[in-house]
Amino acid sequence: MSNLYSSFPSRSFNVDRCSRPRHAIGVWLGFLLILGACTSQEAGVEPVDHSALRVVSEQLIASRDSLFRSDASPLVEADRESFQGLSYFPYDSTLAFRINLQPILARDTIRMVTSTGEARPYIPYGTFRFDASGRGLTLTVFKPVGEDATPGHLFLPFRDQTSGSTTYGGGRYLDLTEDETGIFTLDFNQAYHPYCVYNPLYSCPVPPPENRLSVAIEAGERLSDAL
C-alpha cells in the first residue's frame, strides 16, 4: 500500500480523495504489531523466526490486494476492473533482520520532498546498520510529524539498485512501530510501493540521499504486470 501514512492525494484535490488512504490503517497497524520474532546479525539479539515472518508477509499481501479491490483503492477507475493482484519478489530470508536501531540524538525536523513537489516534515529517529549482498549498509528511520503523524509510527523510505527497473524509480517504503527495547524487525520482504505508482493524484515522499542503497533489494513489492 502506498504508505497509509506517507502517501496522500495531493492537497490540491478534493477531501474525498484525501480521505481514501486512511481506511485500512487499523488493519495495517495490526499486522505490524505481531512482528515479534525475527533475525540477528548482532550479539544479544534473538534470531529471526522466518516461518512467522512468511505468514505475516502472506497476510500483508492478501490485505493489500483486498485494499486495491475495495472502494478505498488508490487505482484509477480504468485499472480497477482489470486488477489481478500486485507483484512481489520471492521471499528472501537473507533480507529479514532482527536488529538494533541506533538512536539519533539531534532530532531536528527535516523537510522531505514529495513526488508532487511539496515538502513534509519528519524527524530523523535512528539508523539501522546491516549487511546485504556482502556490503555494510545504513538506513535512516524517520518519524512523521504534523498532520502525517500517527502515534508509534515510524517511516523508512529507501531506494536501491532495483529502483527504476523492476521497482518504482521513486523508491519503496517500510513501516515500523516504535519499540522501547530499541530492537526492531527490518524485513525487506514487506517493502511496498507508494500509491503514486498507481495514481498520479497522490503525493508521496521521495527517499532522501542517505537512504539510497548501493545493492539490489530483490524482496517485497515489485512493478506489477497486472496493471
> How many distinct helices (H) and strands (E) make up the chain?
4, 12
pLDDT for 148: 74
Q: Among 18-32, 85-99, 139-153, 188-202, whose mean pLDDT is lowest?
A: 18-32
Band the pLDDT of 13: cuts 50, 70, 90: very low
pLDDT at residue 66 is higher than 60: yes
The residue among 167, 169, 217, 220 whose CA lies nearest residue 192 is 220
Q: 10: which DSSP letter?
A: -
What tens digit of pLDDT does each residue of 128-176 get? 999 999 999 999 999 999 887 899 999 999 999 999 999 999 999 999 9
What per-residue confidence (pLDDT) applies to 47? 87
Alpha helices in the chain (DSSP H): 15-19, 25-33, 50-69, 77-80
Rounded to 10 deg, the angle between the 50-69 and 25-33 helix axes is: 180
Reported as a pLDDT band with limits 50, 70 and 90, residue 226 is: low
Q: Can you tell me the distance from the alpha carbon of 8 to that of 83, in angstroms, rounded to the nearest whole number?
A: 21
Alpha-carbon distance 29 to 160, whole Å?
25
- What pLDDT score does 42 carry? 59
- pLDDT score for 52: 94
15 by DSSP, 3-state: which?
helix
Instruction: Return the bridge partners of 97, or none.
Output: 186
User: So what's the pLDDT on residue 65?
Assistant: 96
Say if CB 160 and CB 220 are below 8 A apart. no
The answer to whether 144 and 156 have CB atoms below 8 angstroms apart is no
Q: How far apart are CA 88 and CA 188, in angstroms?
A: 11
Q: Is the pLDDT of residue 15 over 50?
A: no
Q: Which of 65, 58, 53, 67 is nearest to 24 (CA)?
A: 67
* pLDDT tens per residue, range 95-139: 999 999 999 998 899 999 999 999 999 999 999 999 999 999 999
Within its chain, how far is the Cα of 119 from the centroid?
Answer: 18
| Domain spans of the chain, in order of start | 8-222
Mean pLDDT, rounded, for 57-68 = 96
Q: What is the rounded distance in angstroms from the CA atom of residue 34 to the CA atom of residue 126?
A: 22
Residue 146's CB: how many other CB atoms inside 10 A? 9
State the cell numbers at 215: 545493492
**pLDDT confidence of residue 107:** 84
Instruction: Say what the alpha-carbon torsion angle 139, 145, 147, 148 is, to the nearest 10 degrees.
Output: 20
Task: State pTM to two decimals.
Answer: 0.81
Q: Is the pLDDT of residue 219 over 60?
A: yes
Q: Strand pairing partners for 67?
A: none
